[in-house]
A and B are shown apart, each in its own frame.
Chain A
Amino acid sequence: MSSSYGSLLPSAARSVLSLCRPPLRQAPMAPFLAGFQQQTRGFKKGKKEKKEKEAAKKARKGPRDFVQKDLKDVEQFALCDAMRYIRAFEVGRDPAVTKYEVHVRLKTKRDGPVIRNMLRFPHSVQTESRICVICPPGSRHEKEARAAGAVLVGEQEVFDKVKNGQLEFDRVICHPDSLEALNKAALGRILGPRGMMPSAKTGTVVEDVANRVEMLRGGTVYRERDAVIRLPIGQLRFSPEELRDNLRATLNQIKKDAAGLNDRITKEIYEVVLSSTHGPGFSLTGEFQSENSPDTALLRGM
């Protein structure tokens, strides 16, 4: 062994080693290991670095698709059973805060376009979204906006209220005909910091006011992140039928989005998980009820 590392070490080091040989003999392990390691390091250096580079390249690319776990190992639930458990987990929570959520797992590639869209539920998830509409008083749009459920409609009366600090709404929509009056009223200072100032960029200056009001009242924005779409889907007081309607609407919309993306890209729904604000996630079978699930009338209210 001594000859092997002797030949590798520079002559100066060799002489040093031979100088302190007696103490080293007592602990032969340390120099042996050190010499051995030096040898391998020098010997393998070129090849190893190349390999590492290749590995890094591969790792950067990764697999093309998201890994899909086999759903055979997952216990799945009918909608009513999942709701029963979730309602038990959410007992005593603030009903205004707790929501049912749905997580839709997609079968998709890692790269490529993602689904992002807006959706209107048959049963509105947010109840407290109050909308103000600015449009010429006495016009057709005023009637439509009121019919669609806007809280406050008008032009001058809205401006007066805002200036007095009475902001009894969460969103503001403006009709293009009233845009000039709005800009004159200089409400930007009050509405701006709250993110409520209407502008064409945010889509809050629109011709079809009534439609927009309905969209905003029941609409939810969703997008795909890491092959999962997550969105709130209902209030905890919903009955199973209401939740089923919302769920069906969501899945149909997602399917439509996936079909409309591109011919070459296929996205499929792989797993649907029902969860809630504080509860765990329950993978759904797609059935509405199982034999031992309770009566649907019991699964509503608080």
Chain B
Amino acid sequence: MVNLFKRMRKLKSRIVNIRIGTGAAILPTPTSATPDFPAITRLHLTYARKIYNGHQGARHFWRNCLPRLKYHNPGVPMSVKQTDDQEGPAALTIYFAERASKPASVTAAAAQLIDKHAPAPADSEKTTVVDVRNLDYKEIWNKVMNVTGAQEVPATPEEEAEVKRFEQMKEQSGRDRVRIAAIRQAKKDQERMLQIARGEVEKLKQL
């Protein structure tokens, strides 16, 4: 079994990273929906396998933001489709209950994208496709917030302290790594010097 301290440190730093950060937000649910921002029922992301032609941001969005979104909205299904079509679209499809939000209808009119990998919406759902090509994942996130009206979850002081502690530990371990490497190198040098010295004596004996 792995050293417990190590195991817990890794686990805790990973899960605090899921609770807070870019994308930690609550999407409108049927209970919290407003006329401007109806409830979100589903998300689907499609992008190509490699980063050329601006598909990098979409992948980073999946890696960084989607887990946090999923954590704070456990009931919203989210799917990701990775295609081999580098020329194809990088698109985020947002499914609204009943009707699309106001900003969504504006962006949809501008984008005119069709994502053929996205699952078909149910009768009561309306979809909006957001073009995420050539965008940074943070830019994608801002766009998503605008369209959906998601409420960001602020980090609590305890969580901030925890993140800070893990950062300090990381720094300290960097320093320690250098220190230990120096000690090990010194020990090796010492042994090598002794080896050479011993060799000299042997040489002298043979004379």
Asked if B177 CB lies within 8 Å of chain A CBs, one says: no
What residues of chain A lie closer than 8 Å to B79, measured between beta carbons? 92, 302
- Within the assembled complex, what's the spacing in Å between the Cα atoms of A93 and B66? 11
- Looking at the complex, which of B69-77, B147-155, B180-188 is the stretch in contact with chain A? B69-77
Interface of chain A residues 1 through 19 with chain B (CB within 8 A): 12-13, 16-17, 19
> Which of A66-74, A113-121, A170-178, A187-195 makes up part of the contact surface?
A66-74
Query: Distance in Å from the Cβ of B59 to the closest Cβ of chain A?
Result: 10
- A69-B1, A301-B77 as given contacts; A89 in contact with B18, CB under 8 Å: yes
Cα A302 to Cα B10 in complex, Å, equals 26
> How extensive is the interface on chain A, given as a class?
35 or more
Q: Tell me which of B1, B70, B80 contacts A88 (CB under 8 A).
A: B70
Contact for B78 among A31, A73, A91, CB less than 8 A: A91
Tell me how many residues of B have a C-beta within 8 Å of chain A: 33
CA distance A84 to B67 in the complex (A): 10
The smallest C-beta distance from B55 to any residue of chain A, in angstroms, reads 15
Residue of A34, A87, A281 near B11 (CB, 8 A) is A281
Stretch from B97-105, B107-115, B129-137, B196-204 that touches the partner: B196-204
Complex formed: what's the CA distance from A146 to B70 in Å?
A: 40
Q: Is the CB of B70 within 8 A of A91?
A: yes
- Main secondary structure on B side of the interface with A: helix
Flag whether B45 is at the interface (Cβ < 8 A): yes
- Which of chain B's residues has its CB closest to A95's CB? B79
A92/B62 contact (C-beta < 8 A), A34-B197, A74-B8, A302-B78 known: yes
B197 touching A75, Cβ below 8 Å: no
B69 (CB) vs chain A CBs: closest residue: A91
**A contact residues vs B (CB 8 Å cutoff):** 12-13, 16-17, 19-20, 29-31, 33-34, 37, 67, 69-70, 73-75, 84-85, 87-89, 91-93, 105, 280-282, 294-295, 297-299, 301-302
10 A-B pairs within 8 Å (CB atoms) are namely A12-B205, A74-B7, A84-B71, A85-B71, A88-B18, A88-B74, A91-B67, A92-B79, A92-B80, A302-B79
Residues of B within 8 A of A (CB): 1, 4-5, 7-8, 10-12, 14-15, 18, 45, 62, 66-71, 74-75, 77-80, 194, 197-198, 200-201, 204-205, 207
